[in-house]
Amino acid sequence: MLKKITSYTFILAGLILLNSCKKEYESIQSIDDTKIKDYISKNNITDAIEDPDKTGFYYQIITPGTGEFFKADGTADSVLYSLSIKSLLNGTTYYTTSAISNFGTYVGYASVFSYSSNVRLSIPCLRTVLQKLKPGGVARILLPSYLAFGKNGSTALNVPSNENIELTVTTYPQKSQRLLDDKRITDFLASKGLTATKDQPTGVYYSVILPGTGDAPIDVSSSLKINYTGRDLGGTVFDSSTDGTFTTTLLQVISGWEVLKDIPGARKGAKIRLFIPSSEAYGTAGSTNASTGVVTIPPNACLDFDIEIVDVTN
């Protein structure tokens, strides 16, 4: 004879299932916490601080920085920073922000790591730790797997399942992207022994390699036939057209090119080199190849262009 299944039976089964899930979740917390504590002990990190809210992460202030602490409230400080993501288990590096790039946001919004459209990680602890730093400060965050990439890991970054993470955040002394871009460009010029003139309104630097001889002046609506090669400050070429077929107006390209209309000698036949801050290039978004999804220009990257003005038509 079949037994009658009552609503009590379903409730009891549900409670058992929920309790089982709870125990599994707690066991992950416990395992991760033990691994992190072992890591702290093994590496003699005596100044590691446990999250006051007991969410599971630990942090260490490596360099405090100078000035005032970053604030998330009131003045809503902005912060520029880079990240390094490593395995706590074996030190494998999964991600490092390029030296020519950086993240930037208000401290109160600094809780998301977005590497690409396929890799997006919520890390609220980042906001917490940033408020323990001053500009130029560096901190290390020991992140349990359930606050990092979880049981699924990350295929794009090759992070395995349930991997505890060492997240290093390095802040910049500059508190505006414009100032950081200017330092990057001037440091680049100095390292290469180059001289260039700064266009004050835009922050673009330019060097006239060969003045043009044409009579037609350039304005934003001029039809320009141009040969060009575009690089980031690391020397990687991301685009070029040197066969004399590229035609454009200054309204159709990145805003940094608009200085061509104001540069003495920018006429037909001129060869000019432009060093463009990120705000006048691809900004915080950078640029991604639509077909492959590969990032071709990282966020907040300054650019370096060789430009030859083949012809000007007004």
Mark whether 211 and 270 lie in a shared domain.
yes
Mark whether 189 and 155 lie in a shared domain.
no
Q: Which two tokens stand for residue 89?
A: 């288990």
At position 270, the amino acid (one-letter code) is A
Per-residue pLDDT, 6 = 53
Mark whether 220 and 274 lie in a shared domain.
yes
Q: Which of 148, 171, 194 corresponds to the end of one domain?
A: 171
Q: Which of 144, 171, 198 corresponds to the end of one domain?
A: 171
Mark whether 205 and 115 lie in a shared domain.
no
CATH label of the domain that carries residue 245: 3.10.50.40
Contacts of 253 (CB under 8 A, 6+ apart): none
Q: Count of residues for the chain?
A: 314
215-233, pLDDT tens digit by residue? 889 999 999 999 999 999 9
285-305, pLDDT tens digit by residue? 888 887 877 788 999 999 999
Mark whether 148 and 216 lie in a shared domain.
no
Contacts of 274 (CB under 8 A, 6+ apart): 204, 205, 206, 256, 257, 259, 260, 303, 304, 305, 307
Q: How many other C-beta atoms are found inside a 10 Å radius of the C-beta of residue 307?
A: 21
235-256, pLDDT tens digit by residue? 999 999 999 899 999 999 999 9
Q: How far apart are CA 307 and CA 229, in angstroms?
A: 7
Q: Which domain holds residue 159?
A: 25-171
89-105, pLDDT tens digit by residue? 999 999 999 999 999 98
Mark whether 308 and 189 lie in a shared domain.
yes
207, part of any domain: yes
Q: Which two tokens stand for residue 254?
A: 């990145």
Supply the mean pLDDT for the chain.
Answer: 89
Is pLDDT of 16 > 60? no
Region of poorest pLDDT, from 23-27, 41-45, 78-82, 194-198: 23-27
Is pLDDT of 120 > 70? no
